[in-house]
Amino acid sequence: MNNTTFLSLPAVDAIAGMLAEIYASNSQVIDILTNWSTGTVQAAESTYTVTSNALSVGGMVGQYTGNVVIPYVKRNLNNLMPYPFVFPWAYPTNMATLETFFLETFNIVLEDGEFAVTGNSISGPLSGSNAIDATPDPTTGYVTLVAQPSSGRFVAGSTINLRCTGAGVQVPLTTLLALSTPPNLDVLTDH
């Protein structure tokens, strides 16, 4: 599954989609995954459980029994999204606003409880109206979202960086005007 599709789906759908791609040439398995079972993600264990249903999606009596637990590998956000996202909305904000921004702007799903924010007043996984009010890093101006073990898609500890530019954000000039080497004033000319 390509990264764009993976990022646009909640964990349970993303993992089901990855399994469907793996078993694409086996019509019986695709039928089971599509019509005869329910999938659930156990994020902390990185497993996906396929449980047979008593009835198919079409209402037929179930042909299968039991369940199977399938391990999977989570993806690293640092590889998927190595660059910061500009967040131009008012800051501080809350998780619901951030989820809406990512979905509407980038078609990226952020699930409740999937992230915490470094230096936030609320520690641990965030959801809904939980405040995101961490002071942007004085060197980079970033606010960092950190994937939690409760994320079904992302490696715990991998990050998304936000450059907050909306109302209420003060970015230190040292962040914007920092120079790795001083300019050579001898070569500057007046035009």
> Could you give the residue range(s) of every CATH 3.10.430 domain in the chain?
77-175
Give φ, ψ of 88 to 5 degrees.
Answer: -85, 5
Q: Is the pTM higher than 0.85?
A: no
Report which of 27, 26, 52, 16 is spatially closest to residue 37, judged by C-alpha positions: 52
- pLDDT at residue number 186: 57
Q: Residue 103's Cα: distance from chain center in Å?
A: 10
Residue 173, pLDDT above cutoff 70:
no
Two structure tokens written together for 29: 């398995």
Residue 180, pLDDT above cutoff 70:
no
- pLDDT at residue number 179: 54
| 77-175 CATH pick, 1.10.8, 3.30.450, 3.10.430, 3.30.70 | 3.10.430
**The amino acid at 83:** Y
pLDDT tens for residues 75-96? 999 999 888 998 888 888 999 9
Residue 4: CB atoms within 10 Å: 11
Rounded mean pLDDT of 150-161?
94
Residue 168: CB atoms within 10 Å: 11
* Interatomic CA distance for residues 188 and 100, integer angstroms: 46
- pLDDT at residue number 175: 55
- pLDDT at residue number 145: 93
Residue 172, pLDDT above cutoff 60:
no
- pLDDT at residue number 58: 75
pLDDT tens for residues 3-28? 889 999 999 999 999 999 999 999 98
DSSP 73: -
